[in-house]
Structure 1
Amino acid sequence: MSCRICGRRAKSEFCRRHEEAYKSILEGYREWREAMNISWREYLEEIAKNPYSGRWVKDVA
Structure 2
Amino acid sequence: MTARAGYVAEAAAAQLAAALASRFPGLPDHEIQSAARAQVADLRETGWRISAPVSALADRPRARKTDRA
Higher relative contact order (CA 8 A, sep 6+): 2
TM-score if structure 1 supplies the norm length? 0.45
More helix by share: 1
TM-score if structure 2 supplies the norm length? 0.41
